[in-house]
Chains A and B, each alone.
Chain A
Amino acid sequence: MARNHFIEVKNLVKNYGTGNIKVTAVDNVSFYVDKGAFIGIMGASGSGKTTILNILSTIDRMSGGQVLYDMADISQMTEEELSDFRQENLGFVFQDYNLLDTLSIEENIMLPMALCRHKTSKARLKEEIESRVKSISETLHICDILSKFPYEVSGGQKQRAACARALVNNPKLILADEPTGALDSNSSAMLLHTLQIMNRELGATILMVTHDVFSACYCEKILFLNDGKICSELERENMDKKEYLNRILDMQFKIGGDDIYAE
């Protein structure tokens, strides 16, 4: 009997354009993600990795195929059902943080909780939100910046705040799109460590799109995309970090990401 995975992507296709001018961004891609996994998707620019992420995050529609979350097919959902699904199941971490500049860090984190439909009383809700924000902030070491506004903190702190916001509703899946793209090396390392904590200590399932090799080596499995197709997969298994890093670099070289060795 076939095993049920948390996310199953079956023959996913995404075309752009109309009439004779059609560009296939994602071409018949299939893969799965199990609960508690930390998966990376790598590929050169235009390989279709962000398109896959957008479809998985339900902010873009697929042209063909299926995406099943716990056996529920998102391609059959209406716009409003998708919004509710997003609210209840997904958390996002973006390259440019996407924090609201008029809200303090604490308010940014609690916003997804406040926006959810709640059946609890006002007082209970307040208590719940406050304790949840407090515990996540402690785990991600951002308690001291909670009262600040996004423009008053560093990029790394902003990204950790974005992670906290992604986690606050206990989502089934966290989608990270180039989360270290705008960070310096120190902040990147800290953020990746944070994602690792989220995955290992808080049990979050993470799907991260990146073209940064150093970031990718934090994932336990990496899917390599080329021209909209999965051309290879790599699992860390028992490899140490150095070996894993080298294998990722080799893989990139093989699939045509030779630009990183060009100079």
Chain B
Amino acid sequence: MLNKLALRNARRLWKDYLNYFLTLCMITALTFSFHSLLFSKDIYEMIHFGNNGELSTAGTMLVTFMAVSTVAILMIVAWLINYMTRFILEKRSREFAIYLLSGMKKKQIAALYMKENFYLGISALFAGLLLGSGLQQILFYVFYKSIGKNYRVNIEISAGSILLTIILYGACFMIALFRNKKKFFNMEIISLLNMDRQNETVNEKRNAIWKWLFYLSIGNVLFLYFLIFTGRITKWAAVFEMIGLVFTFYFFYLGLSAFLMKYIKSKGSLIYKKDCLFLMRQFSSKMRNTCFVLGTLSLLFMFALVGSSLAFMLSDYQNKQLNVEYPFDIILISDNTENDFVKEGTLINENTVPRSTLKYCVYQNGTSEMVDYLYQNLRLFSDKDSDPAMAEGRKAAAYYDYDVYMGITDYNSLRKMLGLTPVALQDNQYLIHMPNRVYQEIKDRSEKPQNSLHIGLDFAGFMTEGFAQNGHNGTDFLLVVPDKRLAGMKKYFSLMAVMASGNVPENLSESLYESAGKIRGYDELADYIKIGSEELFLMPATIQVKSREVLELKFLMSTLSFPLFYIGLVFLCVAFTVLSVQQLSDSNKYKFRYQILNKLGIGKKKIRNVVAKQLFLYYLCPVILSVIISAVFILYVGRQFVIYTGIHTEWILYFGISFVSFLGIYVLYFAVTYFQFNKNIEP
């Protein structure tokens, strides 16, 4: 009997809370498909070293980010399920009171409620897994595409992924239901009977104080804008601003509600305008009663927007910057200045067809003026160690001991290989070639690098094209001089650069390392190569095979951007579900209110209009706060991105793309809520 009742109730739950059910399906599908990445055979091979089962750097990153995002999602899904089960319990309190009056025991009712939710959960789980297997294909396609590989449809349902999804999902449900079970035991029949009849009271107490919270919150947001636009953000300012933002998210709505109530009380002219009074009162009382939920939703929206904007930024970086960082198909460096790369050359010829090859040397003259200049002037090294030994150690870890020189002939040959126009230097001239990122940082400094150098030549200018300057053709800089000038210098390193006419197999990298008696990923960290101020490319590599490095870096970027998208999507769905369910569940109360409006002479069309305005306001409020705050965050991150990468990042574009995608989901949820709401309030 109880089972039958539970099934019937679950069916009703499914119908009444369709948005909730669909969101559970969506979250399950997302969890399943994202975790499938970890369990895919191909990806397993990509993230492990050979057969020894150890994770590579990219693998560690992928697993770490997925774990972090899973924990974040677990917390938020647990909150959603807990919120929804409590919410449904309150809405159905009279029904439970009738069960109690009919002689059912609290224990039985709690079990019934648990069963209903279990049925709802299990159906959402199965539907979600089904949807997830489809979504998995799309996700794999996008993932492979983003790392520059082709994906063939392959239905690969991993037991691990299913098990992980069930465990995560089940844990959230169990926690929420056990919490609610406690609630059942503490309830009295009378309180259950009256729970859904409780008037929506308008609490106008302490409005005068709360109103200030609104001004304070606005002030805090303006202060954040001021800090970021004027670049005055320091470590401590950031900490205080973070605390201030949490305060803003949670008190803004309380403040706005008090502000509106004050406005209505002081008879502002807007309240005499058509339905404004009705809407403002609806909105302010709802906001007062749900300020905590609205604050949480704003935070979720913010995380979603920031997360997806960052993900877009990373994927754009991936597309734009990799060619700049890895201009040569293959480049090798050796500290043995007599190395003629015969072994490597043979291996390369066996694996690919070289279009042009150059073996050359870079030189040093025992000075380190440019290294000293960069170490003194670059932002990365600005927080100097007070201990001179430590500072020296740090400098030595970033740069070679001496400035790196190259002759103009080799320089122009390399430029030719890259399709760049050769440059001309007079006998008494030199030029500095540096990554655009470094150039952008130093170009406006009052202390110019050319003034710090005492080479005895005239400075001819800067060149900033991508030139393999993470340790190969110098680190952060290369001093190009006439060939004659090299006569008095010592050979520093010998190098070989190759441009291939066809594809270069990725595993050529491993083969080259092997022939050098090293293991890729292990020994490269301990190598002599120095990567200077580069922070995003963490892998110093004496042997650089572009196809291998690009694949690895694209993979690394994807390990960051995919969890960000994952979090963003789940947070969005959760936030919109809560908004939607709240409005729909209150539609009984609203039905009565709209019927009164109808009796007061507001036609159906106008009522639909008022409903749209009410829903729009309620949906807009948490969105607008999160958009205002996340926009400035993305602006800040975008600027930092320019500083660290040297590429111009259109933060507004990525924010815009995220916002438009966000709007798509917003419109979907809004439309479903709007139609269901209108259906609910129909007489």
Q: Is the CB of B599 within 8 A of A115?
A: no
For the complex, give the distance between the alpha carbons of A101 and B267 in Å.
Answer: 18
Interface string of A109-143 (1 = CB under 8 A from B): 01110111000001101100110000000000000
A114–B274 Cα distance when bound, in Å, is 5
Chain B residues whose C-beta falls within 8 Å of the C-beta of A129 in the assembled complex: 272
Chain B residues near A99 (CB-CB < 8 A): 596
Closest Cβ neighbor of A99 among chain B residues: B596
DSSP class of B's interface residues: helix, strand, loop or mixed?
Answer: helix
Pick the contact of B277: A92, A110, A125 (CB < 8 A): A110
Question: In the complex where A114-B277, A122-B272, A126-B269 touch, is A102 in contact with B282 (Cβ < 8 A)?
Answer: yes
* A119 → chain B closest CB, angstroms: 13
A243, CB-defined interface residue at 8 Å:
no
Residues of chain A at interface, number, CB under 8 A: 35
Are A151 and B599 in contact, CB atoms less than 8 angstroms apart? no
- Distance to closest chain A CB from B194 (angstroms): 13
- The yes or no answer to B353 lying at the interface (CB within 8 A) is no
Query: B568-595 toward A: CB 8 Å interface, digit per residue (1/0)?
Result: 0000000000000000000000001101
**Hey, which chain B residues are within 8 Å of A104, CB to CB?**
202
Of all chain A residues, the one with the shortest Cβ separation from B605 is A80
Q: Is B160 an interface residue (CB 8 A)?
A: no
Rounded to whole Å, the gap between the CB of B15 and the closest CB of chain A is 25
In the complex, A110 Cα to B264 Cα: how many Å?
Answer: 13
Listed residue (B199, B274, B600) with the most chain A CB atoms within 10 angstroms of its CB = B600
A104 CA to B285 CA, complexed, in Å: 12
A110 to B600, CA, bound (A): 11
Q: Is B426 an interface residue (CB 8 A)?
A: no
- B606: chain A residues at CB < 8 Å are 83
**Cα A79 to Cα B601 with chains together (Å):** 10
In angstroms, Cα B172 to Cα A137, docked, is 55
Which partner residue on chain B sits nearest A168 by CB separation? B600
Docked complex Cα distance between A104 and B261 (Å): 11
> Chain A 58-93, CB within 8 Å of chain B: the 1/0 string?
010000000000000000000110111111101010
A107 within 8 Å of B (CB atoms): yes
Known contacts A102-B285, A103-B281; A122 and B269 CB within 8 A of each other: yes
Query: Please, which residue of chain A has its CB at the minimum distance from the CB of B607?
Result: A83
B199 CB contacts on chain A under 8 angstroms: 101, 151
B404-441 with Cβ < 8 A to chain A: none
Contact in complex: B603, A112 (CB < 8 Å): no
User: Which residues on B sit within 8 Å (CB–CB) of A82?
Assistant: 603
Contacts of B200 in A (CB 8 A): 101-102
Residues of B within 8 A of A59 (CB): 598-599
Determine if B539 is an interface residue (Cβ-Cβ < 8 Å).
no
A123–B272 CA distance with the chains assembled, in angstroms:
9
Q: Is B4 located at the chain interface by the 8 A CB criterion? A: no
Which A residues lie within 8 Å of B278 (CB)?
100, 103, 111, 115
The answer to the question of A98 belonging to the interface, with a C-beta cut-off of 8 Å to chain B, is yes
Known contacts being A107-B264, A110-B277, A149-B201, is A125 close to B603, with CB within 8 Å? no
Instruction: Report Cα–Cα, A84/B285, bound state, in Å.
Output: 29
Beta-carbon contact of B276 and A151 below 8 Å:
no
CA distance A149 to B603 in the complex (A): 26
Min CB distance A59 to B, Å, is 6
| Interface membership of B443, Cβ < 8 A | no
Could you say which residues of chain A place their CB within 8 Å of the CB of B130? none
- With A and B bound together, what is the CA distance between A102 and B204 in angstroms? 11
Task: Check if B603 sits within 8 Å of A83, measured CB to CB.
Answer: yes
In the complex, chain B residues whose CB is within 8 Å of the CB of A123: 269
Interface residue A57 (Cβ < 8 Å from any Cβ of B): yes
Q: Please give the distance in Å from B595's CB to the nearest CB on chain A.
A: 8
Give bound CA distance, A261 to B478, whole Å: 113
Q: A114 CA to B269 CA in the complex, in Å?
A: 11
Give the distance in Å from the alpha carbon of A112 to the alpha carbon of B598 in the complex.
Answer: 11
1/0 contact string of B594-619 vs chain A (CB within 8 Å): 01111111111110000000000000
Residue in A closest to B270 when the chains form the complex, CB atoms: A122
Tell me whether A86 and B281 are in contact (CB under 8 A): no
User: In the complex, A87→B606 CA distance in Å?
Assistant: 13
Q: Which chain A residues border B272 with CB–CB below 8 Å?
A: 110, 114, 122, 125-126, 129
Question: Considering the chains assembled together, what is the distance between the CA atoms of A123 and B214 in angstroms?
Answer: 28
Complex Cα distance A147/B598, Å? 24
Return the CB mask of B198-218 against A: 1 if under 8 Å, else 0: 011110000000000000000
Q: Is the CB of B277 within 8 A of A111?
A: yes
Separation of A149 and B601 alpha carbons in the complex (Å) = 23
Bound-complex Cα distance A130 to B266 (A): 13
Q: Measured between alpha carbons, how far is A190 from B398 in the docked complex, in Å?
A: 91
Report Cα–Cα, A75/B553, bound state, in Å: 74
User: Chain B's nearest CB lies how many Å from the CB of A212?
Assistant: 22
Q: Which of A86, A88, A103 has the most CB of B within 10 A?
A: A103
A11 to chain B, nearest CB (A): 26
* Interface residue B241 (Cβ < 8 Å from any Cβ of A): no
Give chain B residues whose Cβ lies under 8 Å from the Cβ of A115.
274-275, 278, 597, 600-602
In the assembled complex, B445 has its CB within 8 A of some CB on chain A: no
* Any A CB within 8 A of the CB of B166: no
0 or 1 for each of A191-212: is its CB under 8 Å from B? (1 = yes): 0000000000000000000000
State whether B277 touches A112 (Cβ < 8 A): no
* B269 contacts across to A, CB distance below 8 A: 122-123, 126
- Which residue of A79, A100, A107 is within 8 Å of B603 (Cβ)? A79
Task: Give chain B residues whose Cβ lies under 8 Å from the Cβ of A100.
Answer: 278, 281, 593, 596
Q: A102-B282, A102-B285, A151-B199 are in contact. Are A92 and B274 (CB under 8 A)?
A: no
Within the complex, what minimum Cβ distance (angstroms) separates B457 from chain A?
77
Contacts of A86 in B (CB 8 A): 599-601
Contacting residues, chain B, for A149 (C-beta < 8 A): 201-202
B residues within 8 A CB of A112?
600-601
B590 to chain A, nearest CB (A): 10
Q: Does B273 make an interface contact (CB < 8 A)? A: yes
B38 lies within 8 A of chain A by Cβ? no
**In angstroms, how far is the closest chain A Cβ from the Cβ of B121?**
35
How distant is A161 from chain B, measured CB to nearest CB, in Å? 13
Given A86-B599, A92-B599, A79-B281 contact (CB < 8 Å): no
> Distance (Å) between the CB of A187 and the closest chain B CB?
20
Query: Is A84 within 8 A of B603, CB to CB?
Result: yes
Give the docked Cα–Cα distance between A123 and B273 (Å).
11
**B679 CB, nearest partner CB in chain A, Å:** 17
Does residue B228 face the partner (Cβ distance < 8 Å to A)? Answer: no
B405 CB, min distance to chain A CBs, angstroms: 78
What is B's interface to A at a CB cutoff of 8 Å? Answer: 199-202, 264, 267, 269, 271-278, 281-282, 285, 592-593, 595-606
- Residues of A that sit less than 8 Å from B by CB: 57, 59, 79-80, 82-88, 90, 92, 98-104, 107, 110-112, 114-116, 122-123, 125-126, 129-130, 149, 151
Having A107-B281, A116-B601, A126-B269, one finds 16 other A-B pairs with CB under 8 Å, namely A79-B604, A80-B603, A82-B603, A83-B603, A86-B601, A87-B601, A90-B601, A100-B596, A102-B202, A103-B281, A107-B264, A107-B271, A112-B600, A114-B274, A114-B275, A115-B602
What would be 20 A-B contacts, judged by CB atoms less than 8 Å apart?
Answer: A79-B605, A83-B604, A84-B603, A87-B600, A90-B601, A98-B595, A100-B593, A101-B202, A102-B202, A102-B282, A104-B202, A107-B271, A107-B277, A111-B600, A112-B600, A114-B271, A122-B272, A125-B272, A126-B269, A151-B199
Q: What 7 A-B pairs are tightest by C-beta distance, nearest first?
A: A87-B601, A83-B603, A86-B601, A102-B281, A102-B285, A80-B603, A151-B199
